[in-house]
Amino acid sequence: MTRKQYAYRLKVEYPSTPEYYTHGHLPVFMHGFDEEGRWRWPIVTTKLSLAAAKRRAHLLGEYGCTVVIERSHPITWPELTP
């Protein structure tokens, strides 16, 4: 019997200004500005694994976002035929 598989997505509430930017401490690994110097939030997408969803939720939380990880219903895959 195979274990159930799920996809995960993030429900994100963004603050008006990123927390680190307000304090002038943007982490070096984050390049949150575009070519014209405007702030851009990190991209939020559906994550296929819980670990990836948790990593992105933590990253967004560092910027003052409120993040909820949502789990899909179990994913069913068609049977493989030889």
* pLDDT single digits (tens) 1-57: 567 889 998 888 877 765 555 545 555 444 566 677 666 666 666 777 899 999 988
3-state secondary structure of 75: strand
With respect to residue 79, please indicate whether it lies within any of the assigned structural domains. Answer: no
**What domain range is 21 assigned to?**
1-47+65-72
What confidence score (pLDDT) does residue 40 get?
67
With respect to residue 60, please indicate whether it lies within any of the assigned structural domains. Answer: no
- Would you say 32 and 40 are in contact if contact means Cβ atoms under 8 Å apart? yes
Higher-confidence position of 64 and 38: 64
* pLDDT single digits (tens) 50-60: 999 999 888 88
With respect to residue 59, please indicate whether it lies within any of the assigned structural domains. Answer: no
How far apart are the C-alpha atoms of 68 and 41, rounded to whole Å?
17
pTM here is: 0.63
With respect to residue 58, please indicate whether it lies within any of the assigned structural domains. Answer: no
With respect to residue 27, please indicate whether it lies within any of the assigned structural domains. Answer: yes
With respect to residue 10, please indicate whether it lies within any of the assigned structural domains. Answer: yes
- Specify the number of domains making up the chain: 1
With respect to residue 25, please indicate whether it lies within any of the assigned structural domains. Answer: yes
